[in-house]
Amino acid sequence: MQKEQLTLLALIRSALWGDAPPDDPGAALNIAREQMLMPLLFPDTPEAGSCTAHSVRLLFAEDGAIALFRSAGIDAVVLKGAAAACLYPDPLRRTMGDVDLIVPPDMFDDACRVFDENGYRRGTDYDSDSRHKPYAKDGVDFELHHHYSFDGIDVERFVTEGVARFETVDVEGHEVPILPPLENGITLLAHLANHLKNSLGLRQVIDWMMYAHAHLSNGEWEREFRAVASSCGLEALAVAVTRLCKKYLGLPDGVTWCDGADDETVDALLESLLSSGNFGASRGAGANVENVSVGIRRYGFFRYLQMAGEHNWKAYHRHRWLKPFCSVYQVFRYARQASGARRGKKLSDDLDRANERYELLRRLGID
């Protein structure tokens, strides 16, 4: 690993577990920025202060939305964001981007009506087949969910049951409704698995580490969580990611249920995380080439074109009769992008990384 990467890992261990800080923490500044870890690793910088201020604003915006839903008799539960931040020693050092809320599916239309009638602006990029609808108000983005499962990762039963049994935690003086521990953990793991298919960030891995530290002792893993993860096809990923956290990020030794993970797979996962930045940010255009290549290998050429076209073509979101033409749209979309495509060695490197990531996904059971 490069010096900046080793320094980054040392800073994470220092910030979360009290290990000695590295001699030259500034060496990790750029990669910490790419990974959206500035408040955690460089909390005294103006950049971190801006992120923290945004997180505070999100918490107040979250309060307002939840109060509106409660007044209408709708239970709303926070996913990710504050539901992950509450696991950190200092929740405000976990970067938050938007507010994800989930309501019971049969109350989703009512929840949308509440938002519509109270000044929340509905996003235009909405697919009626999507599991959430985007909204925004006062500079805060919301994703209002009626379901949470991802392609090939079905956690819906656990999420639905969890919404009905939500718990309330205190995050910096804000009462935040979240899923019970088991259900919160499986959604964090599913979120991690879904983004790994495209490109993952260390922030999501740290979320999982803090959850495992709080709720997945050896007994808790064997008693219930292992069976749930296995039923969702996520057991191998849980074991590998937790082993990565223990080997590189400082997760205390008391967690031993992950010790049987294949270290070659663990190391490949870490390399992918460090080289991609937050959701592939540091690879720029190369991330797109890599993601397309992986997608084609996972789904097949024509199915992937159709899926990508359905996702990307805004006209199809408004006019469902266009569905047979989505794959054609996607071909032309790629053709338009080809003028800026990477060529030569860069393209070859992107394809090599795509092959490596596809093999990694296969090993983790999420291909």
CATH class for domain 49-179?
Answer: alpha beta
Q: Is the dihedral of CA 81, 84, 86, 89 positive or negative?
A: negative
Q: Is 231 exposed, middle or buried (0-12, 13-18, 19+ CB in 10 A)?
A: middle
Residue matched to tokens 């920025």: 33
Please report which confidence band the pLDDT of residue 346 belongs to, taking 50, 70 and 90 as the band edges: low
How far apart CA 219 and CA 224 sit, in angstroms, is 9
Q: Is 55 exposed, middle or buried (0-12, 13-18, 19+ CB in 10 A)?
A: buried
Whole-prediction pTM value?
0.83
Boundaries of CATH 3.30.460 in the chain?
49-179
Is the pLDDT higher at 136 or at 130? Answer: 136
Is the pLDDT higher at 32 or at 341? Answer: 32
CB 9 within 8 A of CB 22: no
pLDDT the model gives residue 335: 66
Residue matched to tokens 């296995």: 230
Is residue 26 helix, strand or coil? helix
Beta carbons within 10 angstroms of residue 174's beta carbon: 19
Residue 46 clears pLDDT 90, i.e. is over it: yes
CB 174 within 8 A of CB 61: no
pLDDT the model gives residue 26: 94
Q: Please list, residue by residue across 90-108, b when 16 or more beta carbons sit within 10 angstroms of its beta carbon and e when fewer do.
A: ebbbbbbebbbbbbbeebb
Alpha carbon dihedral 143, 144, 150, 151, in 10-degree steps, equals -90
pLDDT the model gives residue 29: 95
Of 34-38, 197-201, 276-280, the range with the lowest mean pLDDT is 276-280
Please report which confidence band the pLDDT of residue 195 belongs to, taking 50, 70 and 90 as the band edges: confident
pLDDT tens profile 57-108:
999 999 999 999 999 999 999 999 999 999 999 999 999 989 999 999 999 9
pLDDT the model gives residue 287: 53
Residue matched to tokens 């935690």: 169
pLDDT the model gives residue 127: 57
- Bridge partner residues of 132 (DSSP): 145
Is residue 45 helix, strand or coil? coil
